[in-house]
Amino acid sequence: MKLKHRFAARIRTILMATVTTVAILLLGSLIVQQPIFPAFEEWNEGRERQAPTQALATTRLSSYTDRLASPPMYVDAWRTYGPDDLVAQEPAMPEAVGYPNDPSLPYVYQGGFGHYGGFDDPREFFMRVEAPIDINYVDGRQVISDRAIIYLDRLDSEHLEEWEWYDPITGITYYYFGSFFVPVCLQGEVTLSFKYDMRAWVWLKPYRGPYTWISVEYVIYLRVALCIIDRLDTSEPDFQWVPREYVNGLPVEGVTVKEYHQYFNQPAPVEELEELVIDIAGRTFWVRWNFTGRTWIGIRWAIGIGIRTAASSNDEENLLTRVGWAGANMTGRLWDIKLKCDWCKPAFTAEEVGYTSPDNHTATAGRGHVVRHKINYTIMYSATWDAFNFTIGPSDYARYKSPIYEVSHGPSTALSSACSR
C-alpha cells in the first residue's frame, strides 16, 4: 500500500511539472509571436474591424530600374533636286495612226526636256506638235480611222538603283528606279513638292476645200509620278508607279499637274483658230504616298501633247484630201523640287548596328515620382539625303528631338543615347 501511494504521488508530481512546463512554453510562444487576429473583445458584430496597431517592418528602396522595349523613333529626311540630279530622257517615239499607202507619217514634232527642248537646264521644257487634217468620212460614215498623234517626253530623277519586272499577265516589262533610299522603316510617307510655270497654245488652220465639217481633239498635260520600290527587306518587294488615275477607264501612271482637253467640231466654213489655253506662273504642286520597309523612291515628270483630227465630205472622190492642219505647243519649267520622307522605326535596331542590346532602353524610378529613361538609339542614314532629324518618344510620352544633321558624306550609322524624364 505504501508503495502504491508513493508511486501515485510521484506520478502527480511529474504531471504537474509537465503541465507547468507546457503552460510556460505556450505563454512564451504567445509573447514572442505577432497576434494574427484582433482581440475578441474588439470584434463585435456591427462594428468596423480595427487594424492591427503594430505595422509590419518594410524596406524602402532609393530607386528601381527596369528594362523596357525600344521606344519609337520618328525620322524626317529630305533632299532637294537641282539640274545635276535630274535626267531628261530621250524623246519618246510617237504613237500615231497612219493611212494606207502613207509610208511617212506627215506630222511635225519638236521639243522635250532640257537640251531636247533647246534648253541648258533639264527642268525647262518645250513641245510642239502639228497634225494634218484629212477627209476620212463620206456622207457621215467613217471610211478611214481618225488621224491621231501622241507625244510623251519624260524627266527623271537620277537612277541610283534600277529594276526590271516582267508581268506574265500582260507580257510587258516594266522599268523602275530610285534616287532616295530609306534603310530601316516600319511605316513611312513620302511627299514630293515643286513649283512650276506652264503655258500652252492650240491652233487650227483650215484650207479651202471640199469638206463639210472638221473635227479636232486636243490633249495637253503635265504629269508627275513617284516610283516606289518598297518591302525590299522581305521576300516579296513591291514595285509601283503611284498615284494612279483613270483616263477613259484605263489606269494611268502618275497624277495630273495640269491638263487641257478639248474637242472642236465645226461645220464648213471653219475659221482659223489660235488660243492660249494654259497660262500658269509660280504655282506649287505636291503629291504624297505611303511606303513600308526598306524603300527606294524615284521621281518622274511627263509632258504630252495629243491631237486627233477628222474631216467629212459628201463625195467619195475627196477621200484623203488634205483640208488643213491643227497644232499645239507648250513651254514651262520646274524648280524648288524637294522630296521629304517621314517614317517610324524602333529607336534601336540590331539591323542598323549589327548586334542586340537588352539595355537599349532602361527606366529608373526614384523618390519624388520621377522616372528617368535612358535610351540608346541608332539611325542608319543615306548619302541620298541632304539632311535629317528625328524625334524619340519613350513610353511616358516625353519627347527627345534631335538637331538637324547635314549629310555631307557617304552612308553611315549614328549610335548614341538620350535621356528624358
Per-residue model confidence as pLDDT tens digits over 347-376: 889 888 888 888 888 888 877 777 787 888
* C-alpha span between 392 and 102 (Å, rounded): 67
Same domain, residue pair 329 and 242 = yes
Same domain, residue pair 376 and 234 = no
Same domain, residue pair 323 and 355 = no
Cβ(418)–Cβ(397) below 8 Å: no
Same domain, residue pair 159 and 209 = yes
96 assigned to some structural domain: yes
Per-residue model confidence as pLDDT tens digits over 221-275: 999 999 999 999 999 999 999 998 887 777 788 999 999 999 999 999 999 999 9
27 assigned to some structural domain: no
**Domain around 303:** 75-343
Same domain, residue pair 139 and 184 = yes
Same domain, residue pair 194 and 176 = yes
Same domain, residue pair 287 and 378 = no
* Mean pLDDT of the residues in the chain: 82
Residue 415: pLDDT band (50, 70, 90) is: low
Per-residue model confidence as pLDDT tens digits over 277-321: 999 999 999 999 999 999 999 999 999 999 999 999 999 999 989
Last residue of a domain, one of 282, 316, 343: 343
User: Phi, psi (5° rounding) for residue 119?
Assistant: -120, 155
Give the pTM. Answer: 0.79
Give the number of domains in the chain.
2
Same domain, residue pair 228 and 365 = no
Same domain, residue pair 160 and 128 = yes
Residue 378, judged by CB atoms within 10 A of its CB (0-12, 13-18, 19+), counts as buried
180 assigned to some structural domain: yes
Same domain, residue pair 261 and 135 = yes
pLDDT at res. 312? 97
147 assigned to some structural domain: yes
Residue 107: pLDDT band (50, 70, 90) is: confident
Same domain, residue pair 170 and 274 = yes
Same domain, residue pair 353 and 338 = no
Last residue of a domain, one of 302, 317, 343: 343
